[in-house]
A = this chain, B = another copy of it.
Amino acid sequence: MPRTLSLNAKIQQLRQFLRQERRLPSYREMLDVFDYRSTNAVSGLVRKLVEHGYLLRDDAGHLAPTSKLSGTVKLLGLVQAGFPAPAEEDEVDVVSLDDYLIRRPEASFLLTVNGDSMIDAGIQPGDLVLVEKGATPRIGQIVVAQVDGEWTLKYYAKDSAGVRLDPANRNYRFIRPRQSLHIGGVVRGVVRKYD
């Protein structure tokens, strides 16, 4: 059989360009990226990348990177399973944290947690909560709510007396809205960064 090319090396090179330039290279720029000398070679490679789902071609023929290409983190299994062998590292899924966490970008906000009232829910001071503004909360979900003029982070609950906002900390008591209750949004995720 004829000579075969290793896609993985090419994909790595393309990823690097994508990260640095934040765009896809043109075919002539790919000459440098892939160390080719003919744009026809690029054309063939691009066709393969489309076949393998790294690039997407729209109706007009324009190319765009898929999340498989532009993803920034390799998604593995359980901590117990550890890391894959270098040989298998090319086959793991690559995801984007944005795509993973955010469903409605236009309604999504990040807020910094300041109290410890949700500590038993694993939400610590300094954490960022990803909030979907305007969403309708279900019971048991965590909401950002304005109660009697003050914004807080609490579990959304209901009982015979109506809506109740529960903290996740035994040292705090639940809140019962007196005058007003305004649900700002529903917490869809939590992000913590260590420095």
Residues of A within 8 A of B (CB): 15, 19, 21-24, 56, 58, 62-66, 70, 72-83, 95-98, 100-102, 105, 108-115, 119, 122-124, 127, 129-130, 133, 141-142, 144, 146, 150-153, 184-185, 187-194
Q: What is the copy number of this chain in the assembly?
A: 2
Contact check: which of B105, B110, B122, B146 meets A76 at CB < 8 Å? B110
In the complex, what residues of B have CB within 8 A of residue A142's CB?
194
B79 touches A152 (CB 8 A): yes
Given contacts A22-B64, A122-B192, A189-B191, contact A151 B56 (CB under 8 A): no
Cβ–Cβ < 8 Å partners of A80 in chain B: 114, 150-152
List the B side residues contacting A187 at CB < 8 Å: 194
Q: Is A78 touching B193 in the complex (CB atoms < 8 A)?
A: no
Q: How far is the CA of A48 from the CA of B24 in the complex (A)?
A: 23
B189 with A190: CB separation less than 8 A:
no
Instruction: A189 to B195: give the CA distance in the assembly, Å.
Output: 9
User: Which of B56, B105, B144 is A22 in contact with, Cβ under 8 Å?
Assistant: B56
Question: What's the Cα separation between A144 and B82 when bound, in Å?
Answer: 8
Evaluate contact between B105 and A101: CB separation under 8 angstroms. Answer: no
Known: A70-B22, A79-B153, A110-B74. A192 touches B193 (CB 8 A): no
